[in-house]
Chain A
């Protein structure tokens, strides 16, 4: 990774510190600055309220020309998060063809937060959960809260 890209990540970290979305905390390791650990509280107005989620943001070598890779380390019942060990997320500006170099990590963090409140059904990675969210909201709410209790306390 080029020195310029590292510099940009440093600057972005500075920006995030000054302007972290509420309920988020970033653990930043200067020795390994391409891997951020984000601690996220489930937003109050969402089904995930009370949960504490751990995310990982990995910056590829080509950053900022390739998007950062976001993964939920804590299991979460969500149509836009893959239901496996990876917990990967791939939508909106995180898609390689959607990503533009001027995008910032703060925007990514905001996107995640919005998605917790309002999942994006049209762009779901888990169609079954998306279906459930659309047609059986009660059941979805129950599973989501159940997972929060089980994994995200």
Chain B
């Protein structure tokens, strides 16, 4: 990039940069160096570091993969699968020529202190050529290692997952809610377990209200659950020892001495006593047994009513659309009396309890056809306004269908007539063609006769001059043109008039034949 002639892209970039920001000095000798004084980082560098930061910020799920060496195993592993250096089951094991197995990482640690070319097997001290003597272990060993059951590395934080070792990576990286992730707060560099991620930054110091030890907020619950010396208290009602954290829940749900009402209170049971007594009362209280069903029904009704609201709104919208259509169809009739609501209202009043009246009054479409049909048979046959939209549509459909069949019939008729006409016409054409053919044939015959007559004439002349024979040839040419319908050329003597007289009767003949076919 130090060439005096910069390649186009940087040149362009420099140009646009200089135009966009006049302050930026451009060191032309280099052609690339863009930015402020040499000591300050170039804009590119700043941008790069910014983007790196923001990338880290946007990916708070930068989790540490589990270290296989630190896993807890649920069962004591087979001693043949244990690395003699780390005393854990092998992690990515390799085999040396001397048939000793080690984790790759353990071998690297062991060899870190040894000189190149002097690496030895940690067990038997036989020399090892690092480039050649490392062998993969048999497949079955890998499989056995993968199948060892391990605990989640976050088990100390509370995760009770355990499964085959092959799955631990996925568990920690994808599923475990105790895995540490970067704190969601922008300027906090600490870590927090994934399950607390949504709570925001918990990295501030609080003091435990029970023992006055100060700690991070994120550790408070764990402390109050397991470590705090003052974590438990005696329930003032039943004097049982409970965790302070759980005290509210204990009083609300478990304490046998707290006075509560019978669960049938919603259905007017007035019994009130300590929880233990209430429990035995509820064994016999009929209302208490009904209460859950009652509550369930109640909830269901509430759900239904909640659903009704949007539905009735939708019906209203449909209703509007329908009346729009009606008014479009019958602009005169629809306006003065809404024909739809008239026959319906009494039936809707009978069908629904008063509570639903408001909803039902909008509800015109669905129950309509059935009650209205038996009531009035007469309007069904009358012209619009129809008693029902559906009848109207049906009638329209029928009339359309009739019209279609009428059109179909007419079309068929027309088709037949056209066919006849075509047949007749073509027949006539055919006849005419026959006549024309006959006329042409007779003309050919006459021409032939004429030609032979001319030839015999020339033979009879015998000693006539070359000029005469030339004129004969010209005469025969003009005769040819005369047969094609052109007028004969004058000034060629009697031979030309002869051809003209021949032509006239022929013409007459064809005219007469045409008149024949026309008749």
Residues in chain A within 8 A of chain B (CB atoms) = 2-4, 7-8, 11-12, 15, 62, 64-65, 100-102
Contacts and interface: CB of A to CB of B under 8 A. Distances in A.
Interface string B86-122: 1110000000000000000110011011000000001
Contacts of B135: none
Contacts of A8: 85-88
B109 to A, nearest CB: 7
Contact of B69 (A3, A62, A64): A3
A100 B70 CA distance: 22
Contact of B110 (A2, A3, A101): A101
B113 A62 contact: yes
A12 B113 contact: no
Interface in B280-317: none
A9 to B, nearest CB: 9
Given A62-B113, A65-B109, A65-B110, A102 B69 contact: no
What size tier do the contact residues of chain B reach?
Answer: 10 to 19
Contacts of A62: 113
B125 interface: yes
B61 interface: no
B123 interface: yes
Contacts of A2: 109
A62 B106 CA distance: 12
Contacts of B110: 65, 101
A100 B88 contact: no
Contacts, number: 45
Contacts of A7: 69-70, 86-88
Contacts of A15: 87
B67 interface: yes
B86 A102 contact: no
A102 B70 contact: no
A4 B69 contact: yes
Q: Which 9 A-B pairs have the closest CB atoms?
A: A102-B84, A101-B122, A11-B87, A4-B69, A101-B85, A8-B87, A102-B123, A4-B86, A8-B86
B388 to A, nearest CB: 83
Interface centre among B67, B87, B109 (most CB of A within 10 A): B87
Nearest to B111: A65
B67 A102 contact: no
Contacts of B122: 100-102
Contact of A102 (B85, B88, B113): B85
Nearest to A9: B87
A140 to B, nearest CB: 36
A4 B86 CA distance: 7
B123 A4 contact: no
B231 to A, nearest CB: 22
24 contacts: A2-B109, A3-B67, A3-B69, A3-B70, A4-B67, A4-B69, A4-B70, A4-B105, A7-B86, A7-B87, A8-B86, A8-B87, A11-B87, A11-B88, A12-B87, A15-B87, A64-B85, A65-B113, A100-B123, A101-B84, A101-B110, A102-B84, A102-B85, A102-B122
A35 B364 CA distance: 90
Nearest to A5: B86
B214 to A, nearest CB: 21
Contacts of A101: 84-85, 106, 110, 122-123
A101 B87 CA distance: 10
A4 B106 CA distance: 9
